[in-house]
Amino acid sequence: MGMQRKKDLPTKGVLYPAALPTFHREAVTGAAAAFVRWFWIPEWKLEAGQKSRQHLIAFPACNLVVEQNMIGLSGPATRASFKDLEGKGWAVGALLRPAAVPALTHDVGALRDKYQTLDAPELAQPVHAAMTSNRPLIERRAAAIAAFSNWLLNRIGAPSAEGILANRMVEIVETDPTILTVSDLAAQLHLSPRTLQRLAAKFVGLPPATLIRRRRIQEVAERLRQDAQLDLSVLANELGYADHAHLTRECKAVLGFTPSSYRDAANGSK
């Protein structure tokens, strides 16, 4: 059986969207929105011997993922990564906001580029029951997300004032293209750079400068997918890189390949 992709899926963070399995991304409302940016649910059914490799430029955040046989807490990533899908399966993941992190790990920095198992049967059981039921697809997803949200709210309670500030820090980085330096971000939040560093270390596990660089790299990838003729020097200038060479070095460091080679591969995969 082949794979289908939801056409209106936001693709930032995914290097090759055309290769995605059936994938649903659900925005979060209500109290859980303080802790989760969105829930994501991939489902796949591949023929024997077939493999689907998913390439990602992860958001600078943790993901809590209920898989078929385990729960994993994925720490903030510093580089592009991939996951191979085989056979038949599903997962229900939550892209966590910073305010949720201290309730799940005492040292988020130690989770960089790591995937740690979590023992939480009270989360696994209702999500698994929802995803394996015979209910219609939409109802299965809704039940899984509701169970996930309830577990998080019971575990965390209300967000702290510091957690809300950390949420705001990440929101500004990801939505304000004028934020190009740590000093820019500190000024926007009315914090000292040192306080900003401590906030990022506690709630994100990455330095503020890395958050800014990640947003720019994701923007680079998205723009190159959308416009195969885009001039790289123009793109570098628009996104605040010193020059084309600076953009190329940054892409190679994070993605492992140059902007031009990614553009060719991404557009060739459509």
197-212 pLDDT, tens per residue? Answer: 999 999 999 999 999 9
CA max distance for the chain: 56
The percent of residues above 90 in pLDDT, for the chain, comes to: 54
Half-sphere exposure of 224 (CA within 13 A, CB side): 29
Which CATH number is associated with domain 161-268? 1.10.10.60
Q: Which pLDDT does position 20 carry in this prediction?
A: 53
Per-residue model confidence as pLDDT tens digits over 248-270: 888 887 777 788 888 887 777 54
How sure is the predictor about 106, in pLDDT bands with cuts at 50, 70 and 90? Answer: very high
The identity of residue 82, as a single letter, is F
What are the tokens at 77? Answer: 């990533």
Per-residue model confidence as pLDDT tens digits over 7-43: 344 555 555 455 556 788 999 989 999 999 999 999 8
pTM of structure: 0.79
The percent of residues above 70 in pLDDT, for the chain, comes to: 88
C-alpha angle 225-228-231 in degrees, rounded to nearest 5: 110
Taking a C-beta distance cutoff of 8 angstroms, is the pair 172, 188 a contact?
yes
- Beta bridge partner(s), residue 53: 84
Taking a C-beta distance cutoff of 8 angstroms, is the pair 85, 51 a contact?
yes
Q: Is 26 helix (H, G, I), strand (E, B) or coil?
A: strand
Parse the chain into domains and list their residue ranges: 17-156, 161-268
Q: Which pLDDT does position 6 carry in this prediction?
A: 39
CB atoms near residue 7 (< 10 Å): 5
Specify the higher pLDDT residue, 19 or 87.
87
Per-residue model confidence as pLDDT tens digits over 165-181: 999 999 999 899 889 89
